[in-house]
Each structure stands twice: as structure tokens, then as C-alpha cells.
Amino acid sequence: MSETTIATTPPDTAPADGLWPMPTDHATLEVPWYNIRGPRRFAPDRRLRILHAPAIVTHQQWTVSRAQRALGHVSEVMAFSAQAGYPTTDCDIDLDFKRDSLSLHPSQWWRTLVCVWRFVRFFVLALCRYDVFHFHSESFLGSHGDWDLRLLRLFRKVVVFQYWGFDVKLQSPALLWERYGAVKRDIRFYANSRKLRDNLLHLRYADFRVYSGLEVLRNVPDALFIPIAIDLERWKPAAEIPPEHRLPPSSTVRILHPFQTWDTRGDWKGTSVVRAAIDHLKAEGLPVELVFLDRVPNDAMPYYYQQVDVVIEQLLSGFHGNVSIEAMAMGKPAVCFLHDDAYKLVPPGNPIVNANPETLTDRLRELVTNPQLRQSLGARGRTYIETYYDSRKIAKVYLELYVRQWR
């Protein structure tokens, strides 16, 4: 059967020992994998007011903030402009800069003044409203200055920086470490030395530095590793799949490879290797089909995961992202290349099928020809995610960090 491609126009709109398992009772929750010094900053029963800003990274801010709300806290997500391909509901506060270009050209100066006024008004209100400022990738001003961070420290706000990889990963060391050349395929999305320097200078204002990807540890060695969070109420098999998201009936083993913005970002996940492996298995006479997703709204993704048999994330960069977590949450085997160092961070018993460009065909052949193996890995994956990646548990870890006086 030919390859199935689903492309939809987006809406407008640390140390492994002692890290796991995580306690589930927030009243007694401690953070055993890091030496947190000093007394509590807030009373244990304090209702915190938290702002996640300013970048939207694969729904993580939204997922964590909703879980924090469920625990009784005020938690909101702010962005300078809602990211294309993500629903507007994934952002509580959108300053809407995308329609007002920041230009010094005489014909555009008024647009710049509107943006500046909009941000200054928001920042003053935020100083009064929030206790915790949880920054993702960069501060409000980024490389344009640090007066926003100085004011936050002056007003004794909690400042947390969380990095996701591209923001503090240098091109040259990554080229040496990433065995299969993912950096060469996607070098535009890696930090240069100047950007890294600007980002790291801002860390002096942070109470905590957090990361969820292996590559960050090399440039921010004192950061805390906290896993990706996933909403298990959303990522579970649906009772009914809407007609517009149903795949045609098929007796083949469907292998899903979701890759947003394939045409603009290039082959940095190893998509060409995935297609070659599928073609090889077809030539052997195996009933296999590739389902390739590009620009499908995130809200619709669980429906497609539910209809496939295996999910492939990436084969080049050496660590998993959201795709593998989502696949396991949906009870599907996840295939991903994990570097040896990755196993020092991920929780024990990780059921991800580790494959690289040299072994992908063999790993897929085992999965295609063994339905019992697929079922076993899928069941193990769901239990694994429920144990370690549940957004409610991850939210409790963040809340414990916020209330501790670390500096």
C-alpha cells in the first residue's frame, strides 16, 4: 500500500539514583535529586500565582499550567504572539506582536510604540499579579537587556529558567556529539556562541535552572532535569474518532512518523531514513504502511496515534521529545534514537525501542512481524507514562521548587 500523508492547514490562531519514583503527596513532596538549601519561601498552603512566558514550546507550558491550576494555584501562559499551528486556547495572554512589526522605519514607528506600550502595561500588571515567573527559553527582553529580570529580583519574585535544547545548544560541540548529523540538517535552530552567552548571563537572576533535554546539561551543568509532562486525560484512546480524522480501513501495520514543518526545517529527524526502511520492508513483502503527519493541529493528534501500530519519533539527535511520550501514553510502541547518556536521566524501565539509522530496519521488522511484542510494549509504555510523566506529578515537582529558598 502506498504511503499515507496527512497534512492539514493549521488554525490561525540528574542523577538517576534517587530521582525516581516521585512522591505523589504534595504536602510531603521533597526534591531528592538536588540539594535545596534554606527555608521555605512561602507557607506550604500558599496559593501561588504563576506565569509561564514567553515562548510556547510543544504545549508544555499549557500542560503544566493546567495541572498547577488543578492543584488550586493561579497559573497562566503568556506569549508575545500565539504560535502558528497551536490553538489560541494554549495561551491565556497573547500580546499579539505578530501583527505589529517592531520596526524603526519612519512609516512603522507607531506600530513599535504600540508594542512597547502593550508590553510595559502588561509587565507592570504582572509585577503586581504574579509570585513566580517561569521563563521558557528566554526572558521577556531576551538578548535586548536584563532590566526586566533586575526588577523581578528587586520585587523578590521567584524566577525560574527552563531550557529546551535549541536555546542553549552550541553548533560546534553538538556536531561532535550527535553521531548521525542532526545538527547539519537543522543548523539554523541551534544557538550560536553569542546567543548562548546572552542566555547564560540571564541565569544569574534565576532561583532555579530547569531542562528536559539531554543536550542542555552540557552548557547548563547545574540545571535540574525534570521530565516532560503529559495530560493523561487528554492522551488516551477516544471512544469515537471524528470522521475527518479517520484513516481509511487497512490490514497493514501502520507506522506513524509525525513531523511538523517538514518542508521548512528539513530532514533533522531522519525522515529519509524512515522512508527508506519502510520501502525496504515492503520489498521483503511485509504488510507495512507509513503514515506521515505534517501540519496536523495538536488537538487532532491523539486520533491518529490511536489508529496506528508503531510510532517513530527521531533517529538522529539522541534524546526523546514529546512524540515518544505521547505514543506511550496512547499505548503504542515508540521508536527513537537514545544516546547512551540519555539512560542516565530517563526513569528506569524505559520501554522506548532504541533505533538509529543503522538498526531501524531490523527494529521495525521485529515489531511488524510480532504483534504480541507491539501489544506488550504498548501496555508497558502506558504504565511507564502514568508512573513518571503524569502532568499532575510533574506540576507538584515544580511547585516544590517554587516554594523553596534556594539562592
* Across 51-80, average pLDDT: 89
Query: Which residues make Cβ contacts (< 8 Å) with residue 353, sequence separation at least 6?
Result: 333, 334, 335, 336, 363, 367, 377
pLDDT higher than 60, residue 25: no
What DSSP string describes 107-167?
TTHHHHHHHHHHHHHHHHHHHHH-SEEEEESS-SSGGG-SHHHHHHHHTT-EEEEEE-STT
Confidence of residue 41 (pLDDT cuts 50, 70, 90): low
Q: What is the pLDDT of residue 344?
A: 80
Which tens digit of pLDDT belongs to each residue from 171-224? 444 444 455 554 444 444 444 555 566 666 677 888 888 887 766 666 666 778
Closest CA to 385 of 326, 313, 320: 326
In 10 A of CB 298, how many CB atoms? 20
**What pairs with residue 49 in β-bridges?**
74
**C-alpha distances in angstroms, 256 versus 303, 311, 323, 377?**
12, 5, 10, 16
Confidence of residue 49 (pLDDT cuts 50, 70, 90): very high
In 10 A of CB 355, how many CB atoms? 24
pLDDT higher than 60, residue 50: yes
pLDDT higher than 80, residue 148: yes
Give whichever of 1-15, 168-182, 367-381 has the largest mean pLDDT: 367-381
- Grid coordinates in use for 125? 500588571
CB 323 within 8 A of CB 334: yes
Give the CB-side neighbour count of residue 227, counting CA atoms within 13 A: 32
**pLDDT top residue among 98 and 163:** 163
Mean pLDDT (the chain, rounded) = 77
Q: What is the pLDDT of residue 348?
A: 86
pTM over 0.85: no
pLDDT higher than 50, residue 17: no
In 10 A of CB 166, how many CB atoms? 17
Query: Which residues make Cβ contacts (< 8 Å) with residue 45, sequence separation at least 6?
Result: none
How far is it, in rounded angstroms, from Cα 74 to Cα 54? 17
- Grid coordinates in use for 32? 531528592
- Which domains are assigned to the chain? 34-229+391-403 (3.40.50), 243-388 (3.40.50.2000)
